[in-house]
Amino acid sequence: MLRNAIAPALLAAGLLLTAGSAQAQCKSFAKNKCVPGLAPYKFNETFNGAQLSPGDEAEVALTFYSGQEYRVMVCVHQILGEVNWKLVDQNNRTVFESLADEPKPSFDFKAASTTQMKVVVWVPERKSEMTHLGCVAIMVGFKE
Amino acid sequence: MLHPRKLLLPALVLLLAACGGGEQPKDTLQNPDADSLAQSERQSRTKKIFYSIPSPMETAALLKKAGASYNSKILNDVKNVDTYTAASKQALNLGVYGADLSYASVFNHTQESIFYTSCARRLADKLGVTSAFSDSTMQLMEQYQNDREKLLDIISETYWDMDRYLKVNDRENISALMIAGGWVEGLYIATQVARTNPSAELKQRIAEQKLSLTDLVSLLDTYGEDETLQGVRTDLKALSALYTDVQAGGGGVTATQENGITVLGAEGGAATVTDAQLKAITEKAAAIRNSYIN
């Protein structure tokens, strides 16, 4: 019985020890694979990303300033496949939506007024025995 | 199959038990995740909710666009760098010098940019964040001191690397203090510039900081009762109270098309701040910022 209790704990301890490494890999992935996709917009230097698995959801609150042009991009590691994401305003109305069946990697716009919006990402459930965990990065670029 | 997340709690308990431990120094900002179950709860809560605070570079670029001028006298004195011995002050002033560095760089004051980079590097060394500021970073900055775009890219990269290092190494409270210090310095610079040049656009940018302040307070709130962040949180909540009646714009969004570009407008209209509100915010921002740098 003790062995039964220790085995999952040791496995989980291993997972914890590798969590930092996974996060580092996620940031490296974002830096190397996602930042170039923001060009010609300038990356806003803020990393919003996490390791997600099917069924998971993430959201980021973002402020967009009037007079600036922006690119919002959701960048996903291929192991996860395509994800759904949308940009919603403070009244929870959808401003832009990209669905896994018809993905659009980024949304460009000009902010006529300063506003706060949320990017909501959700990973579709898959019919698979394997639970994949992959990096999802929500990136913002702006034009000076 | 057991989902990995179901295994995290027992593993954490096991690890905590194994760590045991004597008393931690009060202000060292060592890895806090090893000694608090609340930390693990914070991590699981924040795993999927993020608060994005404008970077010092983005804020400086907005100030420049708003017609702000450059005034080196309002920045933190480089001589102060060796007076910061407490880890919390070092982290806050890493943010302060980072904001000063961005301000100097965006306004093309290269020599001062290099001084502020040196200050940031010294504080990063003291905090053990050495990997972000290698000798090659300094050499590259000197090499490209006349190439503004390249210089801004190097600074952006350094900020990214530092933030990445802190988060990956479970020192997120240092990252939070650095972000808070940088944000306060950005507001301080904006309000000080507005004292001599209170243009409508600059005042609007100051009013809009209500939005990022709300996010910053929310970010700090995710750290629960972390002692090292309590003072900063109290400061920001006091500042937030002064922003209560400031009209910050926002609200619902309407989308239109102009020459093939999507233009998003907010139904809340433009942000505005009254002279009395601006005076109170200016004074409070200065008091908080001065308490961080002195």
Residue closest to B282 by CA, chosen among B209, B233, B180, B182: B209
Confidence bin at B58 (pLDDT 50/70/90): confident
Residue closest to A122 by CA, chosen among A139, A105, A136, A141: A136
The minimum CA-CA distance between B212 and chain A, rounded to whole Å, is 7
Identify all chain B residues contacting A65, using CB atoms and an 8 Å cutoff.
Answer: 62, 205, 208
Confidence (pLDDT) at A22: 67
pTM of this structure:
0.80
Tokens of A136: 């999802």
Check pLDDT > 90 for residue A96: yes
Identify all chain B residues contacting A119, using CB atoms and an 8 Å cutoff.
Answer: none
B68 in Cβ contact with B193 (< 8 Å): yes
Mean local confidence (pLDDT), A131-139: 87
How many interchain CB pairs under 8 A, A with B? 176
Check pLDDT > 70 for residue A75: yes
Confidence bin at A7 (pLDDT 50/70/90): low
ipTM of the complex: 0.80
A116 in Cβ contact with A61 (< 8 Å): yes
Identify all chain B residues contacting A58, using CB atoms and an 8 Å cutoff.
Answer: 47-50
A74 in Cβ contact with A119 (< 8 Å): yes
**Residue A73 to residue A38: CA distance in whole angstroms:** 7
Check pLDDT > 60 for residue B152: yes
Contact B262 A56 (CB under 8 A): no
Q: Look-up: residue for tokens 């997340």?
A: B5
Contact A27 B208 (CB under 8 A): no
- In chain B, the largest separation of any two C-alpha atoms, in whole Å, equals 65
Contact B65 A144 (CB under 8 A): yes
Check pLDDT > 80 for residue A110: yes
The minimum CA-CA distance between A101 and chain B, rounded to whole Å, is 23
Identify all chain B residues contacting A129, using CB atoms and an 8 Å cutoff.
Answer: 1
Burial track A20-48 (b if 16+ CB lie within 10 A, e otherwise): eebbeebbebbbeebbeebeebbbbbbbb
Confidence (pLDDT) at B136: 79
**Residue B285 to residue B182: CA distance in whole angstroms:** 12
Q: At B269, give phi and psi (nearest 5°).
A: 80, -175
Share of chain B above pLDDT 70, in %: 83
Confidence (pLDDT) at B239: 98
Single-letter code of the amino acid located at B95: G
| B139/B216: higher pLDDT | B216
Interface test with A, best of B65, B101, B168 (most A CBs within 10 A): B168
Contact B14 A113 (CB under 8 A): no
Tokens of B183: 């944000």
| A8/A50: higher pLDDT | A50
**Residue B217 to residue B105: CA distance in whole angstroms:** 28
Contact B48 A57 (CB under 8 A): yes
Mean local confidence (pLDDT), B92-104: 94
Confidence (pLDDT) at A13: 46
A127 and chain B: CB distance < 8 Å anywhere?
no
Contact A9 B14 (CB under 8 A): yes
